[in-house]
Amino acid sequence: MLGFQLLNGLTFAALLFVVASGFTLVFGLLRIVNLAHGALYLLGGYVAYEVGGRSGSFAAGVVAAMVAVALAGLALDRGLLRFVKGQDLRQVLLTVGVGLVLNDLFLVIWGGDAFTVPTPEALQGAAVVMGVFYPKYRLFVLLAGVAIFVLLWLVMNRTRYGALIRAGVDDAEMLSATGVDQGRLFVITFMLGSALAGLGGAMGGAFLSLYPGADAEILVFSLAVVIIGGRGSLEGAAIGALLIGLLNTFGQVWFPELSYFVVFGPMALLLAFRPYGLFGRAA
Amino acid sequence: MLSVRGLHAGYGEAQVLHGVSLEITRGAVHALLGRNGMGKSTLVRAMMGLSTPRITAGDVMLGETRLNGMAPHRIARAGVALVPQGRRLFASLTVGEHLTILKPASARHGWTVARVFEAFPRLAQRKSHRGNQLSGGERQMLAVGRALMADPSFILMDEPSEGLAPVMVQALEGVVALLRDEGLGVLLVEQNLYSALAVADRVSVLEGGQIVHSAPIAESPAETLTRFLGVH
């Protein structure tokens, strides 16, 4: 039973990491708290459901979700957010509004029923891991989460683009004074962050199911992950996701009445000692 | 020639600079002295096009090009580099990454990573260290190296000697002289009078947001300057 819950926690953490890594990239570099990130996640899920269902290919659904949500992010950034550049409160309110509008749109298009992204046959059924029967698909999510962490880590730490993002997170003004045009960097990063939300939607939509309100749940957990890990930190997002994923799973099993407290209590405690999160730095 | 003409600038309602004019020529060091709060950093920030302060009148000209109103990265690409107060290195970048974050410039004067390492051998030894693992002097060298990678014609140095040990201040004077000999125009903003006098060709004093003294070094005896700067 313990092994089963542990795997549940780890797989949920893997999904949280994928979604939260996109959130923390955008928050870290552009200083935008994108509260439409949950809606972008749900959009990715619905796109994966439609494309995956019609084409019969899970991979096509995943790719379509990433591309569609990256384009939605581009539209959000260029079409709306650029008019409130540098105004934190307006940015946040704008993204809240966009999230609400997207949600109503989803309700019009897909109604209130829950959908599940169809998975390929190879990932259906269960496998025996650590002595327990466990759904193959959730194991795949765990592996995919680890692979995406490694990939993102390499991009952040081994490429010039990654160095630019890290420098921008550290000191955006100085990066600009060094001669770097941040406009393009910001747009690319916003699209990458959105694509990660879309990828999360496609991955999560196959085991958590898609329904109105699913965006708010994932958004709240992502926020907690980023707050714990520290703004703009990939490693922080990974550790934050592990913490939240495991606390949430075991909290629900052991203290079902207190499950939210089990997640957010430790977060509040951590912030008392590390106000910028585990890996965060003051701006 | 990099020139500031009748510059008025400030933060919101608070005007800090009241008609500042000065000129920086290639191959020369122009020292700008002044006590704290006299507007030195405001002037540097305004010249670099940073989002604050706001320029309300006057111009910053690079040759015939008007720099005010341009984004900082365009000003940097036009040939003006900044070594900011407090260094402001990127905490999560290594020494090497600081120097390669820009795509190699079109090499007007040929500053490359190799040449920066040649000028600052200590940095070469610490290529894969992060900024926060460097000594104060090494940090300052890296801040200068980073600025040079944009291949500037002019370099604005805001209190580079601040927080450095005396021996490092001397080394820094050597660096400023090197930059001048390489043909750069240097604006050296300092509180440290004697460090500035050691390398300056021209000295200006900023007080209350206005230039109250500006003359070649020969006509700027230390006694005159200390009068402006208070006790030193």
Q: What is the pLDDT of residue A242?
A: 96
Is it the case that residue B5 has pLDDT exceeding 60?
Answer: yes
Task: Please report which confidence band the pLDDT of residue B8 belongs to, taking 50, 70 and 90 as the band edges.
Answer: very high
Domain boundaries, chain B: 2-86+153-229
CB contact under 8 A, B150 and A178: yes
> Contact A86/B51, CB-based, under 8 Å?
yes
* A174 and chain B in contact, CB less than 8 A: yes
Q: Which of B85, B90, B102 to mutate to test the interface with A (most CBs of A within 10 A)?
A: B90
Contact state of A178 with B50 under an 8 Å Cβ cutoff: no
Of the candidates B71, B90, B149, which has its C-beta nearest A176's C-beta?
Answer: B71
For chains A and B, count residue pairs whose Cβ atoms are closer than 8 Å.
65
pLDDT in tens, A65-83: 999 999 999 999 999 999 9
Contact: B51, A167; criterion CB under 8 Å:
no
Residues of chain B found within 8 Å of residue A164, distances taken between Cβ atoms: 101
Q: Do B101 and A170 touch (CB under 8 A)?
A: no
Q: Tell me whether residues A176 and B72 touch, CB distance under 8 A.
A: yes
User: Do residues A144 and A199 touch, judged by C-beta distance below 8 A?
Assistant: no
- Contact at 8 Å (CB) between B6 and B20? yes
Of A167, A169, A281, nearest to B101 by CB-CB distance is A167
Q: Provide the residue-wise pLDDT of chain A in tens; the chain has 283 residues.
A: 788 999 999 999 999 999 999 999 999 888 899 999 999 999 999 999 999 999 999 999 999 999 999 999 999 999 999 999 888 899 999 999 999 999 999 999 999 899 999 999 999 999 998 888 999 999 999 999 999 999 999 999 999 999 999 999 889 999 999 999 988 899 999 999 999 999 999 999 999 989 998 999 999 999 999 999 998 899 999 999 999 999 999 988 888 888 788 888 888 888 888 888 888 876 6
CB B186 within 8 A of CB B203: no
Distance of CA A173 to the CA centre of its chain: 27
Contact B85, B103 (CB under 8 A): no
Apex A123 CA angle, A111 and A19, nearest 5: 55
Q: Which residues of A touch B90 (CB under 8 A)?
A: 166-167, 170-171, 174-175
Say how many C-beta atoms besides its own lie within 10 A of residue B126's C-beta. 20
CA A4 distance to own-chain centroid: 24
pLDDT at B187: 97
- Which fold would CATH assign to domain B2-86+153-229? Rossmann fold (3.40.50)
Nearest to A163 among B73, B84, B101 (CB): B101
User: In this complex, which of B71, B73, B90 lies closest to A171 when CB atoms are compared?
Assistant: B90
Which of A178, A231, A276, A281 is best to mutate for the B interface (most B CBs within 10 A)? A178
> What average pLDDT does the segment B76-82 reach?
94
The answer to whether B146 contacts A176, with C-beta atoms less than 8 Å apart, is: no
The verdict on residue A10 lying in a domain is yes
Asked if A164 and B101 come within 8 Å (Cβ–Cβ), the reply is yes
Cβ separation A173–B72 shorter than 8 A: yes
Q: Looking at the domain assignment, is residue A280 inside a domain? A: no
Q: Is the pLDDT of residue B228 over 90?
A: no
CA distance B223 to chain A (A): 36
Cα Rg, chain B, nearest whole Å? 17
User: Among residues of chain B, what percentage have pLDDT more than 90?
Assistant: 63
**Structural domain that includes position A175:** 2-273
Distance from CA of B100 to the nearest CA of A (A): 8
Q: Which residues contact A189 (CB under 8 A, 6 or more apart)?
A: A25, A26, A29, A30, A165
Tell me whether A87 touches chain B (CB under 8 Å): no
Q: Indicate the average pLDDT of chain B.
A: 90
* Closest chain A residue to B99, measured at CA: A178
Is residue B232 scored above 50 in pLDDT?
no
Residue A86: the pLDDT is 81
Phi first, then psi: what are they for A95, rounded to 5°? Answer: -70, -35
Categorize the per-residue pLDDT at B106 as very low, low, confident or very high, splitting at 50, 70 and 90.
low
Residues in chain B: 232
Residue range B208-215: average pLDDT? 91
CATH number, domain with residue A130: 1.10.3470
Cβ atoms of B114 and B145 within 8 Å: the answer is: no
Instruction: Write the residue in B91, B97, B150 that is nearest to A179 by C-beta.
Output: B150
- Per-residue pLDDT of B26-45, as tens digits, reads 999 999 998 888 899 999 99
Min Cα–Cα distance to chain B from A28, Å = 13
Mutation choice for B interface testing from A24, A160, A174 by most B CBs within 10 A: A174
Q: How far A174 CA sits from the closest chain B CA (Å)? A: 7
* DSSP SS3 for B15: strand
Q: Measuring CA to CA, which residue among B37, B73, B44 is closest to residue B186?
A: B44
Please state the domain count of chain A: 1
Residues in chain B whose beta carbon is closer than 8 A to a beta carbon of chain A?
48, 50-51, 71-73, 75-77, 81-82, 84, 88, 90-93, 97, 100-102, 146-147, 149-150
Q: Give the model's confidence band at B105: pLDDT under 50 very low, under 70 low, under 90 confident, else very high.
A: low
Query: Using the beta-carbon criterion (under 8 Å), do B102 and A174 form an inter-chain contact?
Result: no
Q: Please say if the pLDDT value at position B212 is more than 70.
A: yes
pLDDT for residue B12: 86
**Confidence (pLDDT) at B47:** 96
Q: What is the DSSP string of A164-208?
A: HHHHHHHHHHHHHHTT--HHHHHHHHHHHHHHHHHHHHHHHTTTT
Whether A87 maps to a domain, the answer reads yes
A31 touches chain B (CB under 8 A): no
